[in-house]
Amino acid sequence: MESFATNTLRTHELRHTGCREDILTLFYTHKTALAHGDLETVLRDRYDRVTIYRTLKTFADKGIIHKVLDEDGLRYALCKDTCHDHDHHHDHVHFKCAACGQTTCLDEVRIPMIQLPSGYQKRETNLLIQGTCPKCSQ
């Protein structure tokens, strides 16, 4: 059976490298958004920070991952079929738990269409809700 990483790289016509496979595997196994620093901590003995950054940029450009902005900075989350259109823009809400610090995509909660005043052009929309996740609310 083909791995998630191998299948994803093939689907997006990307060359298979150890770094790309390792990063995709981390995103697949962690169901929350990851920062560059999170990846660097896990992979520091195998890849330098620039290689990790370039891999993240490639994945974002191809629509494999998307950016998530929260008060701690930039994170990335694995895209699902429903999280972006053909221009790689996501339209779902992100949730940051104040207790555990995890940022999660809420794919089923859509960002409403916002009508901008004349002359303004939307590039991307981000909506972060902060509170307590179900795991920490128990």
pLDDT of residue 88: 43
pLDDT of residue 84: 47
Report if pTM > 0.75.
Answer: yes
d(CA 90, CA 82): 8
d(CA 26, CA 38): 10
Q: Where are the domains of the chain?
A: 4-137
pLDDT of residue 107: 85
Nearest Cα neighbor of 110 from 133, 122, 127 is 127
Nearest Cα neighbor of 67 from 124, 121, 5 is 124
pLDDT of residue 87: 46
pLDDT of residue 31: 86
Do 36 and 48 meet the contact criterion of CB atoms below 8 Å apart? no
pLDDT of residue 85: 46
The answer regarding whether domain 4-137 maps to CATH 1.10.10.10 reads: yes
Q: Is 113 exposed, middle or buried (0-12, 13-18, 19+ CB in 10 A)?
A: exposed
d(CA 27, CA 9): 14
Do 61 and 89 meet the contact criterion of CB atoms below 8 Å apart? no
Low-confidence ranges of the chain (pLDDT < 50): 82-88
